[in-house]
Amino acid sequence: MKYFIITFFIVVFFLPVTMSAQDLKDIDEIVPFSEGLAAIRRGEQWGFINEKGDLVIPFRYDIYWDKNADTSKLDLSGVRYPMFKEGRCLISKIVEDGITVVGFMDTAGKVVIEPQFLNIYPFKDGYSTGVLFDKAYKGENEFKLKIYDLKFFDVLVDTSGHIEEYFERRHNIQMTKRRYKLPPIMAKRLVGNLVALRSEGDGWEIRKIEYK
């Protein structure tokens, strides 16, 4: 008996695979690069591209901006478009009768500080000062309506969201859309552990604080 050995040769063809950068079209606004990322706007949504043109933070609605901003101001009223500073970019959400509070995301688009500030300065050397909004549930009244205690403080906060210092409690902030005005920040970090504080209607005080 004869045996025939048949040998099969398998030829594998490796075809070159080319990857092209994502085409980004219908962009309404492009912001200068900062910390390696640039914001781009499509309608009411913002995303971020890196220096290769890749969309690294997808388009989203919660990124804070104000098309009517006064860019001479350093607080929220001056934020014309989103930009990263010290690895943080402003995000927002709506609370209390349509009023906006802000927090921060990191360069991966992850929320690192939940929106809880009515106003805040950009981070500098790892810290910022802002007006913190705190809403605590107290119970129900005789009509079964929920009652909340609204508190406001000027605070010193670091880039992780840790509140390093609570300053004086704020008053006279109206949390109704019709009466609401962006509250000025009454605490300003000068340098190191020196902070300037201003009481409502009074002059400035320079205070030295201790924090790690």
Over residues 33-71, the pLDDT tens digits come to 999 999 999 999 999 999 999 999 999 999 999 999 999
The pLDDT of residue 193 is above 60: yes
**148 within a domain of the structure (yes/no):** yes
Confidence of residue 142 (pLDDT cuts 50, 70, 90): low
**2 within a domain of the structure (yes/no):** no
**147 within a domain of the structure (yes/no):** yes
**5 within a domain of the structure (yes/no):** no
Confidence of residue 23 (pLDDT cuts 50, 70, 90): confident
pLDDT, average across residues 106-116: 97
Residue 15 half-sphere exposure toward CB, CA atoms < 13 A: 3
**pTM greater than the 0.85 cutoff:** no
pLDDT tens sequence across 64-101? 999 999 999 999 999 999 999 999 999 999 997 889 99
Residue 152 belongs to domain spanning: 29-208
The pLDDT of residue 20 is above 60: no
Nearest-angstrom CA–CA distance, 9 and 133:
73
The pLDDT of residue 10 is above 90: no
Count: domains in the chain = 1
Question: Which of 95, 136, 135, 130 has the alpha carbon at shortest distance from 113?
Answer: 130
Nearest-angstrom CA–CA distance, 97 and 123:
28
DSSP reduced 3-state for 100: strand
**104 within a domain of the structure (yes/no):** yes
Residue 99 or 199, more confident: 99
**11 within a domain of the structure (yes/no):** no
**174 within a domain of the structure (yes/no):** yes
